[in-house]
Amino acid sequence: MVLLTFLLLISSASAATNVVLLTIDSCHADRIGVYGGPAANTPNIDGWAGTAAVFKTAYSTSAWTAPGLVSILTGLYPAAHGVNTRDQTGSPEMATLLKLFAARGFSVPNLTLFSFVPYFSNLGLPPPRPEYFGRREPQTLLNWLRTEGSEGPFFVWFHTTLLHLPYNLGLETVPRSRAELEQSPGLRAVLGGSVVPRGSVDFEGSDRKWLLKLYDGELRRLDVFFGQLLETLEQLRLKEETLIVLTADHGEELLDHGFVGHASTSLAARLYEEHTRIPLIISLPGTVAAGEVEDPVSQVDIAPTILTLFGQPVPSIMQGHDLFGEIPRRALFLESIVAGNLTSAEQQDTWIRGVRRGPIKYLTSGELYDLSTDPGETINLAADRPDAVAELHSEIDGWLTESLQLRRMRSRAPKANPAAGDPCPVVSSPTSNHRLNYATSTGAIRVHWRGDLTTRYAVQYDIGQGAQHVEGTYEVLGNVHVLGPYSEAIWNDLTGWNPFRFRVSPKGDVACWSEWARFEF
């Protein structure tokens, strides 16, 4: 790997005082102009990228949201940080960017709709700030910046789901009516639901043209938001002293290999380039010079890079490298459980893993590709190169063993047993069979049950029905649990997952479950 220090204008820690880390859900990087997509899609991102370091071959660590985001924030691969299958929670002792910057006195607001999800409960997010959440998702970040951005150094992580299924119809990119598009079963599926299981629908030959137009329309909405972000920073005179990092949790298939989505939407994980290649663009005026880097890099490199730019020590446990320092030649690793966030208990042992070393990419599904001559991964060389398959499979085994050792180094928080004689919890909010209203709920759901704030509880849930059904259990601390707040668009999408059922029990050797509570959006 070549040195990337040519992109760093100064060798000492920068004078930056703020960080904006923007992560995009389900981003097919090749649809962004600077990554080879149509220039009309992303004029604001492309214009800004001309002043930034653009990493042309960046990879996610997984094919669904939680593992990738936690890798960005920890510098660890999913097998090491432990958030790589359904309802997992990282160790409370895990070092994250949020915790490290908060410890140095930076303001670290919670502006994410994922606050209540167990995957993110130990990342260092404070309680959410509902007063900043707007009816439209992008308003949240802009509202906070305009109100508190000038009050001192900040580290803001904001995750946007604008590109996630289902796609919205934008007439500026799709000059057809919804009724016309829905004559195709495949297009009807991507317009109507956030989950499209692989094999549940057949796409027609002309669908990719319209699918790309739908996706590009969403991407243009994202680009408008990014332009508003840059404008807001400029108006507040913060742009010159703010490190901006734009990246994604994972990629998104757009019929590249015959289907759409990613692990949590297709329920059949793949690790092809469209699922794992992501944008990574970093700007810091006066410190990071403009340029393009072709060498493969990973999400695990983002945390060490940000810490180094701010003169902070990089925890030795992190598996990534500072992207503006000397990076050894190395392999990059990928993994995904079969159905991502919707993986059932019966599927917990079904994984796909991969490794890229140089131009060669191997997947444990029995596939080997030479990306230098076959970037579309259409020619499987596994049968012709068994020695390479064996070597790379062994390398994955070694990486997995090392990652699991790092994971075991961190202890989990002790689980409390319910006190003898304590009654089982009784859910008081939301009341059972209640239909929640966005306006009166202000976009959030307050869940409360009889108990106390120091006990750890298990929350068992059963959501939706048919193809859009999921169930599981996760852990929370205390008897008050806030879901959201959500944008109005996300709230409306959740109606497709009705009904929502849950019950709670103190964690311990003996379960003491509440009655099931039921509500709908």
Residues 6+ positions from 36 with CB-CB distance below 8 Å: 30
pLDDT-flagged residues of the chain (< 70): 1-15, 115-116, 171-172, 410-423, 428, 431-432, 434, 438-444, 446, 448, 452-454, 480-482, 484-485, 487, 509
Inter-residue contact 219 to 41 (CB < 8 Å): yes
- pLDDT score of 428: 64
**Residue 19: φ, ψ to 5°:** -135, 135
- Domains of the chain are 5-408 (3.40.720.10), 427-520 (2.60.40)
- pLDDT score of 112: 82
**Helix/strand/coil for 8:** strand
Give the separation between CA 462 and CA 112, rounded to whole angstroms: 23
Beta bridge partners of 456: 477
Give the separation between CA 301 and CA 228, rounded to whole angstroms: 27
Question: Which alpha helices (H) appear in 30-181, and where do they start and end?
Answer: 43-49, 65-74, 78-81, 97-103, 139-148, 178-181
Structure tokens at 53: 């370091």
- pLDDT score of 521: 78
Crossing angle of helices 302-309 and 65-74, rounded to 10°: 30
Give the pairing type, strands 445-449 and 468-477. Answer: unpaired
- pLDDT score of 262: 97
At which residue do the structure tokens 């305009």 appear? 146
For 244, other C-beta atoms within 10 Å of its C-beta total 24
Residue by residue, DSSP assigns 209-221 as: HHHHHHHHHHHHH
pLDDT in tens, 387-443: 999 999 999 999 999 999 998 876 343 343 444 445 688 886 786 676 877 655 556
pLDDT in tens, 99-155: 999 999 999 999 987 766 788 888 999 888 778 877 777 889 999 999 999 998 999
